[in-house]
Amino acid sequence: MNDFGNGYDINKTVNFFKRHWKLLTIVFVVAFAISIVASLLVTPRFKSSVVIFPTSSNRLSKAILADRYSLDYMDYGIERDCEYAIQILSSQSMEDDVCRRFNLIEHYGIDGSDPQKLFKLHENYRANVNVRRTEFLGVEVSVLDVDAQWAADMANYIAANYDTICSRIQHDRAHDAYSIMNDVCAEIENDIRALNDTLRHDKSRYDVAELIGNKTKELAELQSRMSQTKVDMSRQVSYKFWLDQATPADKKAYPKRAIIVLLGTLGALTVCILLLLILERRKSSSEEEK
């Protein structure tokens, strides 16, 4: 009645624990004590998080100036904008800015003369900073640190620096575009002056008059685009809606001491039982051979 499929005998299991209960109890107590001490030696870390919603990737100047307010500058970003934001927040540029701002080499206790200091710095950074997309196309930045205030300050700085990096990218791009359009405008103005000279000498050239009208219209459109680009180049705007700012945590996020104690104790017991089973199997094999 004690057999449960495949010849399993519960009496053998009961007898096994009866034979070794003293040793297993000692292992349990020792493993439990060591696990508690180990969990107390682990430095606690605190977690702070900030949540942002990226705005639409449309330029603010285009939303405000073009086509009589044809775009809504209050639009939330779509999935593509969310992915762009994650890429920027996880970028090397962001990482370098944060490491410089918070002097993380010193904060993480990395030797400044270590030839691998940058590798260790970035490994520590990536282990403690996490960027992920939320369920509703928001982006959450989480920071773990031994100092709760430090973790909150880092998370808030990363979110704020997102605007700085976006502005830097847009400014560089807008500056190049403005320079090109300025050169094109100068060429069109030269063409218009030349055509006006031609028309002054021969006022019957209606084709020239029409060409001047087309060139003037083209110049006006280009100058309108230059005005938009100048706004993008000169103004620093926000590229996010800031939902939740990070605040210092009042409870540690790591380690979970109960889990450390539980896993350490069960792991030690499991190893002990396996070793005892192996020893008994070998002992039985030796007796059978005799």
pLDDT value of position 212: 79
Global pTM reads: 0.64
Residue 68 has pLDDT above 90, yes or no: no
Do 56 and 75 touch, CB atoms closer than 8 A?
yes
Q: At 268, list the tokens.
A: 């030690």
Residue ranges covered by each domain of the chain: 10-42+255-289, 46-244
Distant-in-sequence, close-in-space partners of 123: CB < 8 Å, separation ≥ 6: none
pLDDT value of position 224: 76
46-244 maps to CATH 1.10.260.40: no
Least confident of 72-81, 120-129, 145-154, 257-266: 72-81
| CA distances (Å), origin 67, targets 71, 75, 102, 195, 221 | 8, 17, 44, 30, 12
User: How long, in residues, is the chain?
Assistant: 290
Q: Which residue, 49, 48, 67, is CA-closest to 58?
A: 67
Task: State the sign of the Cα–Cα–Cα–Cα dihedral 146, 148, 152, 157.
Answer: negative
Q: Which residue, 108, 109, 106, is CA-closest to 144?
A: 108
Q: Report the Cα 227 to chain-centroid distance in Å.
A: 34
